Structure 1
Amino acid sequence: MRIVLLGPPGSGKGTQAIRLAKQLGIPQLSTGDMLRAAVPAGTLIGAKAKEIMERGELVPDQLVVAIVAERILEADAKYGFILDGFPRTIAQAAALDDILRAAGLRLDSVLELDVDEAALLGRILNRAKEATANGHARADDTEAALRVRLEEYRGQTKPLSDYYRERGILKRVDGLQPIDKVASSLLEAIASQARRCARTAASSSP
């Protein structure tokens, strides 16, 4: 099962991706984690990513795509994965299509967490305060950076909803439900998509 999880910053993508990964027995692939891991490594990509993320901006496609292309073809992702934080643009989605097509693979489902933007901002700022209190603050968790990220999401990532809806693989879930309810709704959306694919395959069989 190859899944893309969409949603604005603070919508709970990371939390739900981890839960889904455990339920489905496939790895959660977070581009944010991969990029942040490159920062302390002192690589050229890490240095570029650090500067960009601290401004609250999106990392350019060429940096992200290169990391994802290698990761989804690793052994632990052979039978599926959950992409959390990628793609973020139509160009990245097209690049992902190319990567999967070249490997003879395809996406099975795209899940979108639907959350009110005002609620999002409050949620992320609360997370930032808690992280600061615990000594784990991130440089991109300031209000100014968060507003930039939300604006970037509206302009570049939100159009992915239409991109995947037109392909018939998008399912939307209310991200403001309790965490357990969101998780169960996501699993049901995946099951629904799997049933639909099975019916389509059966009807096209000779």
Structure 2
Amino acid sequence: MGNISVFLIAASWFPLIYILVLYLQQVLQLSPLGGAMALLPMPILMAIFMIAVAEKLMAKVGIKKTMIVGFIILGTGSILFSQSATIEGNYWTNVLLASLLAALGNALAYLPATTASVAAVESERSGLASGLYNTFYQVGSAIGLAIMVAIAGAATASSGSADPIEALNAGFQQAFFWSGIIAFAGAILSFIFVRTPELAQIPAEE
């Protein structure tokens, strides 16, 4: 189930970032540099939580609970985007909170999912397991993005709005919503199927 969790994280997270970049530039009219700066708090928060919080939380409450909480927070951030990402919005009131929630959820879900993917295999097969979960992540990103772009395009085409920006944003909101649904599905599947393995100490990066 660890690899499936990695797949679902990627299928939710990667389209979220892609659609968010489009929203910042095409709806809020930020420049490419402005859009990049608007996203900067997300990787900073993710790095802090992955380094300082997620591993300690896994050790305290376990892989399964940490992963479920991460999926739920990621889904909440995505659903919040589907409501707050409006054509009259601005970064500080409509983007920042949801983006930080999504980043926090991704950080809390990703580390236990990848750990679960390799923890149950023998040490001599850890390289194979690592390659497998990376493959699941890449495939999840591609499939999730394709689905969300299709959803956004269909919602834009059927919006009926005479304003092209409003129609475009309606598609973005639908993509955010279904990205959240994928994350919530990850939480449900993790609750049902993930069994916390006995973990060795997570090796430090060289």
TM-score normalised to structure 1 length: 0.29
Of the two structures, which has the highest relative contact order with CA contacts closer than 8 Å and spacing of 6 or more? Answer: 2
The structure that is helix-richer by fraction is 2
Q: Which structure carries more strand by proportion?
A: 1
